[in-house]
């Protein structure tokens, strides 16, 4: 009977749970799904990680290449994130060029990298106006069940912390780059941004970490990104109903708590990898 009610009236089905301050999967309104993290998932990448938030599974591989610094910032390298939502992760996505959601996610990740000062881009420069690193961060969703942006930020942060770059020098005589793959160094991660996504039901009830079904039934979606110093890095709210200042502050406070939880998880996994080597 419940399955039929859920199919016929999905919104009413969810409302019946929300009235009792819980959700169909048994979570409380402010409860995230279990989050697991794995690093060095791709042996051929310079850095990689895989994260699961509930059923949502995202993997990130980083490839570093040498290039010429941009003319407007000759003393900096750069990071190019790309989010891929292939048909294998959900029937809602189609083969072909990136859809609107994938493009929006890629732009959001690029904005978070810039606004949070995740990495000092000058660290990626080898010789001013001549040579720098470009990090291609390919983020692919393997299983889509809502809250894509949170998973993308976590997996990018973990992959960057896992990445190692070889030592590069420019030969003064030949003016060519010389790469020493035996000498590798980790990137210096300046900030630890973490996202927390929220869905609004009936313009008033706020839940965290929405599933794909909850996202489709909500009246608004919002992602709040904070760093380890409780600073606000970004707020992403693509339309929908408005939120009061009080409710927005509630979301920011929950995001700050979430940052501490995820930072502990990332440090624990990175630490466990170091001890096993």
Among the ranges 59-63, 121-125, 242-246, which has the highest mean pLDDT value?
59-63
Q: What is the pLDDT of residue 36?
A: 97
Q: Is the CB of residue 153 less than 8 Å from the CB of residue 109?
A: yes
Q: What is the pLDDT of residue 4?
A: 66
Q: Is the CB of residue 106 less than 8 Å from the CB of residue 98?
A: yes
* Three-state helix/strand/coil letters over the chain: CHHHHHHHCHHHHHHHHHCCCECCCCCECCCCCCEEEEECCCCCCCEEEEEEECCEEEEEEEEEEEECCCCCCCCCCEEEEEEECCHHHCCCCCCCCCCHHHHHHHHHHHHHHHHCCCECHHHHEEECCCEEEEEEEEEEEEECCCCHHHHHHHHHHHHHHHCEEEEEEECCCCCCEEEEEEEEEECCECCCCEEEEEEEECCCEEEECCCHHHHHHCCEEEEEEECCCCCEEEEECCCCCCCCHHHHHHHHHHHHHHHHHHHHHHHHHHHHHHHHC
Binned at pLDDT 50, 70 and 90, residue 172 comes out as: confident
CA distances from 215 to 11, 14, 183, 211, 212 (A): 11, 12, 46, 6, 5
Mean pLDDT, the chain, integer: 91
For 15-55, the pLDDT digits (tens) are 888 888 899 999 999 999 999 999 998 999 999 999 999 99
Residue 197 pLDDT > 90, yes or no?
A: yes
Q: What is the pLDDT of residue 89?
A: 95
Binned at pLDDT 50, 70 and 90, residue 275 comes out as: low
With a pLDDT cut of 70, the percent of the chain lying above it is 96
Residue 3 pLDDT > 80, yes or no?
A: no
Q: What is the pLDDT of residue 33?
A: 96
Q: Which long-range contacts (CB under 8 A, 24 or more apart) does 172-180 make?
A: 177/66, 177/126, 177/131, 179/66
Pairwise pLDDT comparison (127 vs 207), residue with the higher score = 207
Decide: pTM greater than 0.75. yes
Binned at pLDDT 50, 70 and 90, residue 171 comes out as: confident
Binned at pLDDT 50, 70 and 90, residue 276 comes out as: low
Q: What is the pLDDT of residue 2?
A: 62
Q: What's the whole-number mean pLDDT along residues 220-230? A: 95
Residue 202 pLDDT > 90, yes or no?
A: no
Q: What is the pLDDT of residue 168?
A: 84
């Amino acid at each position: 009977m419940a399955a039929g009610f859920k199919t016929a009236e999905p919104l009413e089905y969810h409302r019946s749970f929300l009235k009792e301050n819980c959700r169909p999967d048994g979570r409380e309104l402010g409860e995230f799904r279990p989050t697991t993290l794995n690093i060095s998932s791709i042996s051929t990448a310079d850095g990689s990680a895989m994260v699961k938030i509930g059923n949502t599974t995202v993997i990130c591989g980083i490839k570093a290449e040498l290039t010429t610094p941009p003319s407007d910032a000759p003393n900096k390298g750069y990071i190019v994130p790309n989010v891929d939502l292939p048909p294998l992760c959900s029937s809602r996505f189609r083969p072909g060029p990136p859809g609107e959601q994938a493009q929006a996610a890629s732009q959001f990740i690029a904005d978070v990298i810039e606004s949070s000062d995740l990495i000092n881009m000058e660290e990626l420069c080898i010789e001013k106006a001549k040579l720098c690193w470009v990090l291609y961060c390919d983020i692919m969703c393997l299983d889509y069940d809502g809250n894509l942006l949170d998973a993308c930020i976590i997996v990018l942060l973990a992959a960057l912390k896992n990445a190692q770059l070889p030592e590069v020098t420019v030969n003064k005589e030949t003016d060519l780059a010389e790469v020493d793959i035996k000498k590798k160094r980790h990137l210096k991660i300046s900030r630890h941004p973490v996202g927390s996504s929220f869905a609004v039901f009936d313009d008033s009830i706020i839940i965290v970490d929405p599933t794909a079904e909850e996202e489709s039934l909500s009246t608004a979606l919002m992602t709040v990104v904070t760093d380890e110093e409780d600073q606000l890095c970004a707020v992403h709210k693509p339309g929908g109903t408005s939120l009061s200042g009080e409710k927005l502050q509630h979301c920011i406070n929950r995001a700050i708590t979430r940052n501490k939880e995820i930072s502990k998880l990332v440090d624990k996994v990175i630490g466990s990898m170091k001890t096993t080597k």
